[in-house]
Amino acid sequence: MAVFAHEVRTPLTGILAISDLLATSELGERERRWVDTIKAGAEHLSSLATLFVDAAKDESAGALPREDLFDLRVLARAAGDSLSGRAAAKGLEAKVEVSDELPGLVIGDPVRLRAALENLIDNAVKFTEQGGVALEIALAGRAGRGRPAKRAAKGKVAIAFKVSDSGIGLTLQEIKRLFRPFTQANVSIASRFGGAGLGLSSVRQLARAMGGDVAVAPHPGGGTTFTLTVTLTVATAPHTTAGDGEDGVTLAPTRPLRILGVEDNPFGRVVLNTILNELGHQAEFIGRGEAAPERIAAGSYDAVLMDMVLPGINGVEAIARVRSLEGPQGAIPIIGVSGRGEDEAASRAAGADAFLLKPVSPRALATALLAATHRAAAAT
């Protein structure tokens, strides 16, 4: 499953990155709908890859949530865009409400949180033939009630994501079956709509790992509301973005960077090079980790993007060899990249400054480069 995840997420990085870049271009309404459809499909595949890998792991040693800095408001807007795009493609009404009280920067697991949300959104649209779907994101306890938010530990915040639909609805007996792996509420649902029935079991597992849960409430007369709650840490670090536009990539360094990319997959190279060029950087690529120390010692690079799965020595060993270089070359900012979340601990232990899980978005790459180069500059 780990190999599967890495191999699937490499092309997904390309599809998502290029669709993100296309979305910032001058497009007609028809072309923009096409881009939105491509992006929604790729995001769903990415969420499925995450859920399948987590489900395949032994629950006692299951996937531990990551502790990454991310912008909750950006994630909320992206989820709303996903729901709106999927609903429009099926001719459904869409309603999105994002509370102004949401914190901005938080620490948590954005990859798994987005995967869980995408699963709930996909189910809502899939099981709704007429009417509409809705997404409401607010502080837990405030969603739809107007009452004080649920208390969380100091420095923590509980967030509720409510996904509602006017679809086929569920009986109490069907709800009891929902969270069993590889099970759907009834046989007719599986035959009519398809699907592995895997998602909700993994969504609940992810929610509980993030200090929350999933609740189901059927509507009288049809339709269902799923409420996903998670607990996140409010970040105290300063916001390092150079702007906060919603659509384009606004995270930019103070100067163009010269990047060495260690990536053996030709498709992965094209994708990373495209993103880096759009961010104003220059990139050179090599395909083997053992060549990295020599290139860094001989060249003048500002940062390294190191894939973890390489022919010959792997990315972890390559990072360790780079860190053994003397002088500033040995302290160069290194960002590990992989389709396997379990590679993060080893890459950081070897000396990586940051880690990105594929599919890599332009914003995530820009943020990682900005933070890593700023830390390196502050240390000199």
Confidence of residue 5 (pLDDT cuts 50, 70, 90): low
Global pTM value: 0.62
pLDDT at position 54 is 65
How far does Cα 316 stand from its chain's mean position?
Answer: 23
Q: What's the CA gap between 260 and 286, in Å, rounded?
A: 8
User: 207 and 228 in contact (C-beta within 8 Å)?
Assistant: yes
pLDDT in tens, 59-93: 544 557 778 888 899 889 889 988 988 888 889 99
Number of independent structural domains in the chain: 2
Same structural domain for residues 197 and 269? no
Q: Is position 239 within any domain?
A: no
Q: What's the CA gap between 188 and 190, in Å, rounded?
A: 5
pLDDT at 248 over 50: no
pLDDT in tens, 7-45: 777 777 778 878 877 877 888 888 887 887 787 777 777
Q: Is position 40 within any domain?
A: no
In the structure encoding, which two tokens stand for residue 204, read together? Answer: 């609940």
Q: What's the CA gap between 19 and 6, in Å, rounded?
A: 20
Q: Is position 335 within any domain?
A: yes
pLDDT at 228 over 70: yes
How far does Cα 212 stand from its chain's mean position?
Answer: 18
Confidence of residue 379 (pLDDT cuts 50, 70, 90): low
Domain's final residue, options 234, 249, 269: 234
Same structural domain for residues 230 and 264? no
pLDDT at 179 over 90: no
Residues 173-181 have a mean pLDDT of 68
- Beta-bridge partner residues of 68: 108
Residues 200-221 have a mean pLDDT of 86
| Least trusted range by pLDDT, from 70-74, 210-214, 317-321 | 70-74
pLDDT at position 152 is 59
Output the average pLDDT for the chain: 80
pLDDT in tens, 132-153: 999 999 999 765 544 444 555 6
Residues 265-279 have a mean pLDDT of 87
How far does Cα 153 stand from its chain's mean position?
Answer: 25
Domain's final residue, options 234, 267, 284: 234
